[in-house]
Amino acid sequence: MVYSQRSLAARRLLLSHLLLAIWEAGSGQVHYSVPEEAKHGTFVGRIAQDLGLELAELVPRLFRVASKGRRDLLEVNLQNGILFVNSRIDREELCGRSTVCSIHLEVIVERPLQVFHVDVEVKDINDNPPRFFRQEQKLFILESRIADSRFPLEGASDMDIGANAELRYKLNSNEYFDLDVKRNEEETNFLELVLKKPVDREETQEHNLLLIATDGGKPELTGTVQLLINVLDANDNAPEFDKSIYNVRLLENTPNGTLVIKLNASDADEGINKEIVYLFSNLVLDNVKSKFIIDSNSGEITVKGELDYEDCNLYEINVDAVDKSAFPLTGHCKVIVKLLDENDNTPEMVITSLSLPVQEDAQVGTVIALISLSDRDSGSNGQVTCTLSASHIPFKLVSTFKNYYSLVLDSALDRESVSGYAVVVTARDGGSPSLSATASVSVKVADVNDNAPAFAQPEYTVFVKENNPPGCHIFTVSAPDADAQENALVSYSLVERRVGERALSSYVSVHAESGKVYALQPLDHEELELLQFQVSARDAGVPPLGSNVTLQVFVLDENDNAPALLPPGAGGVGGAMSQLVSRSVGAGHVVAKVRAVDADSGYNAWLSYELQPSVGSARSLFRVGLYTGEISTTRALDEADAPRQRLLVLVKDHGEPALVATATVLLSLVDSGQAPKTPLRMSSGTTGPEVALVDVNVYLIIAICAVSSLLVLTLLLYTALRCSAPPTQGVCEPGKPTLVCSSAVGSWSYSQQRRQRVCSGEGPPKADLMAFSPSLPQAPSSSDNPRQPNPDWRYSASLRAGMHSSVHLEEAGILRAGPGGPDQQWPTVSSATPEPEAGEVSPPVGAGVNSNSWTFKYGPGNPKQSGPGELPDKFIIPGSPAIISIRQEPTNSQIDKSDFITFGKKEETKKKKKKKKGNKTQEKKEKGNSTTDNSDQ
pLDDT tens-place string over residues 176-203: 999 998 877 666 778 889 999 988 887 8
* Model confidence, pTM: 0.49
CA dihedral sign, ordered 919, 920, 925, 926: positive
Q: If you average pLDDT over residues 749-773, what whole number do you get? A: 34
Split at pLDDT 50, 70, 90, the class of 302 is: very high
> Of the candidates 227, 228, 229, 230, which has an alpha carbon nearest to the alpha carbon of residue 171?
227
- Whether 320 shows a pLDDT value over 60: the answer reads yes
The pLDDT value recorded for residue 696 is 61
Q: Which of 14-28, 687-701, 811-825 shows the lowest per-residue confidence on average (mean pLDDT)?
A: 811-825
- Whether 679 shows a pLDDT value over 60: the answer reads no
- Whether 221 shows a pLDDT value over 60: the answer reads yes
Helix axes of 919-936 and 710-724: crossing angle, nearest 10 degrees: 160
d(CA 431, CA 309): 15
Split at pLDDT 50, 70, 90, the class of 824 is: very low
- Whether 134 shows a pLDDT value over 70: the answer reads yes
The pLDDT value recorded for residue 355 is 75
Beta-bridge partner residues of 328: none
Comparison of pLDDT for 693 and 752, the residue scoring more: 693
- Whether 583 shows a pLDDT value over 60: the answer reads yes
The pLDDT value recorded for residue 338 is 94
pLDDT tens-place string over residues 473-519: 999 999 999 998 889 999 999 999 998 888 999 999 999 999 999 99
d(CA 907, CA 902): 7
d(CA 78, CA 74): 13
The pLDDT value recorded for residue 46 is 93
User: In degrees, to the nearest 5, what angle opens at C-alpha 475 toward C-alphas 473 and 480?
Assistant: 125
Q: Find how far residue 638's CA is from the centre of its chain.
A: 86
- Whether 170 shows a pLDDT value over 50: the answer reads yes
Split at pLDDT 50, 70, 90, the class of 318 is: very high
- Whether 301 shows a pLDDT value over 60: the answer reads yes
* CB-count burial class (<10 Å; 0-12, 13-18, 19+) for 779: exposed
Three-state SS at 56 = helix
- Whether 854 shows a pLDDT value over 70: the answer reads no
Split at pLDDT 50, 70, 90, the class of 749 is: very low
The pLDDT value recorded for residue 391 is 76
Share the mean pLDDT of the chain: 75
> Of the candidates 207, 144, 137, which has an alpha carbon nearest to the alpha carbon of residue 172?
207
Q: If you average pLDDT over residues 148-159, what whole number do you get? A: 88
d(CA 13, CA 99): 9
Answer for the pair 598, 564: CB distance below 8 angstroms, yes or no.
Answer: yes
> Of the candidates 710, 692, 691, which has an alpha carbon nearest to the alpha carbon of residue 702?
710
Q: If you average pLDDT over residues 280-308, what whole number do you get? A: 92
The pLDDT value recorded for residue 860 is 44
H-helix or E-strand containing 26?
A: helix 6-27
* CB-count burial class (<10 Å; 0-12, 13-18, 19+) for 733: exposed
Q: Which of 102-116, 802-816, 834-848, 866-880 shows the lowest per-residue confidence on average (mean pLDDT)?
A: 802-816
Share of the chain above pLDDT 70, in %: 69
- Whether 853 shows a pLDDT value over 90: the answer reads no
d(CA 273, CA 267): 8
